Structure 1
Amino acid sequence: MQIAVLSDIHGNVRALDAVLADAERRGIGRIVNLGDILSGPLDPVGTADRLMALNLETIRGNHERQLLNLPTERMGLSDAATIGRLEPRHLEWLAALPETLWLEHDLYACHGSPASDLEYLLETVEPEGCRPAREDEVAARLSGIDAPMILCGHTHLPRHLRLADGRQVVNPGSVGLPAYADDHPFAHVMESGTPHARYAVIERGAEGWSAELIPVAYDWQAAADDASAARREDWARALATGFA
């Protein structure tokens, strides 16, 4: 059984279509979406309509929570650029999404960590910047989750970690935004280093779960141009280069 794992689309329907086409080419019929779906300066409505028609297994991320709960004046630029473009049907769809999901008895999905949609599961942010999390840090963040395969997103960095106890954690990276800068809890950048759209394919076989992290080429310069037209040069640079 193969499953395509998507996360952090951020309204980049060009990248989404390329990833969906790649999954179809591979004959993958089941696709899951780990949240942060629409927010950004690109095409949130087109992205929402595309995904709503597909009815994928989907969880919400921190940006869905923010779109649903924050007043506009408290939103960041990406959420504020999105909320006014969405119709009630889009918001109803977002509101119905669960925060986490057991996809199978041995397959668990969250956006950030099981405890928080803002917590990085596989990275740790310190005053000096961001580093890969130690295994003991990851294990502590996964307390109470005994699934052999755990899916997460949020950091936009593709990673596959196998813990000493045999549990595996897969972050597929970001479909739609390969780099960003943040200041929570300290200033840091997250950079995939290439402009490719990213997703993962996981598979349960006779010896358990395996995972492949997949980069997908698409017209990222067109996406960067769209960001520039929306006066988001930070996004334009990230989309065109994979660096913040």
Structure 2
Amino acid sequence: MKIAVMSDIHGNVAALNAVLADAAARQVDRIVNLGDICSGALFPRETAERLMPLGLPTIRGNHERQLADQPRERMGLSDRHAADTLRPHQLAWLAALPPTLRLTDDVLLVHGTPDSDLAYFLETVTKVGLREATRHEAKQRAGSVDAAVILCGHTHLQRIIKLDDGRMIVNPGSVGLPAYDDDRPHPHLVESGSPHARYAVVSSDRHGWSVDLIAVNYDWEKAARDAEANGRTDWSRALRTGRV
């Protein structure tokens, strides 16, 4: 089985189309979506229009939860743009998504960790910035989940950790936003270092599970100009460079 794993599209429909085309060329058996789908500086409605007919196994991220739960006046710019742009049936689709999903006995889909859509799984925020999580930290965050493969997103960084008990945790990176900054629980930067659209292909055979982390070219310069046209110059450098 070959599973293409997407996460954190953030309304970047051009990057999404590039990833879907690349996954089709690799002849994957399934495509899954780990959330944070439409909120961003670009094209929420078009992203939903592209995805909904595909019927992919999909979970919600923190942005889908925020769209459903928060009043508009409390939303950040990305959620507000989605709330103002998406059609009612698209908002209903996002609101109905589950927080986690067991794809098979072996594969679990989460956005952040099994317990939280905001917690970082394979990274740790300290007072001096972001670092890779240790295996011990990742094992604590995985808890008693018995899946052989846990697929997570949220931090936009491609990473794999194999625990000493054999479980593998995979973050495919972000399809649509290669860098951002945040202040929770301490100020930090998350930077992939290049503007590529990212996803992963997770494969199983008689030898076990393997992962390919993939970076795909698309017209990120146009995406950056589209963000600027929407008044989001905070996105343009990230889209062009993978840096904040």
TM-score interval (norm. to shorter): over 0.9
Deviation at 1:160, TM superposition (A): 1.1
Deviation at 1:30, TM superposition (A): 0.9
Partner residue, 2:81: 81
Structure 2: any 5+ residue segments left out of the alignment? Answer: none
Which has the larger displacement, 14-23 or 88-97? Answer: 88-97
Partner residue, 1:99: 99
Q: Deviations over 1:87-110 (max 9, x none)?
A: 110011112211001100011110
Q: Distance in 1 between matches of 2:55 and 2:184?
A: 32
Partner residue, 2:196: 196
Matched, 1:108 2:111: no
Deviation at 1:77, TM superposition (A): 1.1
Q: How does 1:1-244 map to 2 (within 5 A)?
A: 1-244=1-244
Q: Distance in 1 between matches of 2:28 and 2:134?
A: 33
Q: Distance in 2 between matches of 1:163 and 1:75?
A: 37
What is the number of residues matched between the two proteins? 244
Q: Distance in 1 between matches of 2:197 and 2:209?
A: 23
Q: Deviations over 1:36-81 (max 9, x none)?
A: 0000110000000100011100000000000111011111111111
TM-score by length of 1: 0.99
Q: Distance in 2 between matches of 1:234 and 1:163?
A: 37
SS of residue paired to 1:215? strand
Deviation at 1:29, TM superposition (A): 3.4
Deviation at 1:14, TM superposition (A): 0.2
TM-score by length of 2: 0.99
Q: Distance in 2 between matches of 1:221 and 1:70?
A: 32
Percent of aligned positions that are identical: 61
SS of residue paired to 2:38? coil
Structure 1: any 5+ residue segments left out of the alignment? Answer: none
Which has the larger displacement, 150-159 or 79-88? Answer: 79-88
Deviation at 1:4, TM superposition (A): 0.2
**Counterpart residue type for residue 174 of structure 1:** S
Q: Deviations over 1:171-223 (max 9, x none)?
A: 00000000000011110010000000000000111121111100000000000
SS of residue paired to 1:155? coil
Runs of 4+ in 1 over 3 A off after TM superposition: none
